């Protein structure tokens, strides 16, 4: 069986298990209600229905909120990835199967990302509504969705690593949340420093700094390098965590 086929089979199994649980539907419902309320609130507050005012008054804030809410949701989605396997004593069986550690990581990563993308797809109604309002700056909308997609992939990689460290889903969720929120607070704190070079170096290492550019329609090559490096780093940490169980 091909390398990618094994990953796809595991991802499919993980998705089937996830969508047989009410948690994903509860989270999706709460997310839809919250984002719907925020979207229409921003839309009503927009004094002039022009492309420029809707970009500043609706698009940028709504995508900022989507990103912030996923900091809470991604830990809840990823917490069971390895923690549940450990608690049920099935992780060792999985590690002794014909799957490699990296195939297991990628299979679980893909399934979790697809669950997050499912929730994100619920917001696609917003651009449709904006189109009927005369909105036309679809470059900003497209780049914002791209930024969200890259950000949640990064959040998911952190969640997988944290889940591999414990057999307690709550602990995994809280640890992931603390890391993600800490990244956001770090950006806020360094903005207060007078050392511009130091602040810029720290900001470059955080997700919010790179995500912000996408919401302004800026697609920068170094942001792609950052996200790829971020994923590779946490994949490596998760791999080392899984390999340590064999020692």
- pLDDT tops 90 at residue 184: no
- Asked whether the beta carbons of 99 and 239 are under 8 A apart, the reply is no
| Contact yes or no for 80/163 (Cβ under 8 A) | yes
Residue 54 CA to residue 140 CA, distance in Å, equals 11
Number of domains present in the structure of the chain: 1
Return d(Cα 59, Cα 22) in angstroms, integer: 31
Q: What is the pLDDT of residues 13-56, one digit of tens each?
A: 999 998 998 999 999 999 999 999 999 898 888 766 666 677 88
What pLDDT score was predicted for residue 1? 59
Long-range contacts of 117-126 (CB under 8 A, 24+ apart): 117/149, 117/152, 118/24, 118/28, 119/27, 119/28, 119/31, 119/73, 120/66, 120/145, 120/148, 120/149, 120/152, 122/28, 122/31, 122/32, 122/35, 123/35, 123/39, 123/66, 126/35, 126/39, 126/62
Give the residue with greater pLDDT, 188 vs 17. 17
Residue 189, pLDDT > 80, answer no
Please tell me the predicted confidence (pLDDT) of residue 219. Answer: 87
Q: Which domain holds residue 171?
A: 3-246
Average pLDDT over the chain reads 88
Query: SS3 for 136?
Result: coil
pLDDT digits (tens, 9 = 90+) for 118-171: 999 999 999 998 888 778 888 899 999 999 999 999 999 999 999 999 999 999
Q: 46 Cβ partners below 8 Å, 6+ apart?
A: 53, 54, 57, 58
């Amino acid at each position: 069986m091909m390398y990618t086929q094994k990953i796809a089979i595991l991802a499919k199994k993980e998705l089937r298990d996830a969508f047989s649980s009410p948690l994903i539907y509860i989270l999706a419902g709460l997310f839809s209600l919250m984002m719907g309320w925020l979207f229409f609130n921003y839309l009503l507050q927009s004094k002039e229905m022009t492309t420029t005012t809707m970009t500043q008054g609706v698009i940028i804030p709504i995508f900022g909120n989507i990103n912030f809410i996923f900091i809470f949701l991604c830990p809840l989605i990823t917490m069971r990835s390895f923690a549940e396997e450990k608690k049920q004593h099935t992780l060792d069986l999985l590690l002794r199967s014909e799957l490699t550690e990296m195939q297991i990581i990628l299979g679980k990563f893909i399934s979790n990302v697809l669950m997050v993308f499912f929730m994100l797809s619920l917001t696609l109604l917003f651009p449709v509504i904006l189109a009927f309002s005369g909105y036309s700056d679809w470059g900003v909308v497209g780049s914002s969705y791209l930024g969200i997609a890259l950000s949640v992939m990064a959040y998911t990689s952190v969640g997988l690593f944290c889940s591999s460290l414990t057999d307690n889903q709550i602990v995994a969720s809280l640890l992931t949340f603390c890391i993600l929120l800490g990244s956001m607070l770090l950006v806020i704190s360094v903005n207060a420093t007078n050392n511009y070079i130091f602040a810029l170096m720290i900001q470059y290492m955080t997700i919010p700094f790179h995500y912000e550019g996408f919401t302004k329609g800026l697609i920068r090559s170094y942001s792609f390098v950052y996200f790829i490096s971020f994923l590779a780093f946490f994949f490596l940490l998760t791999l080392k965590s899984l390999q340590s169980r064999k020692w």
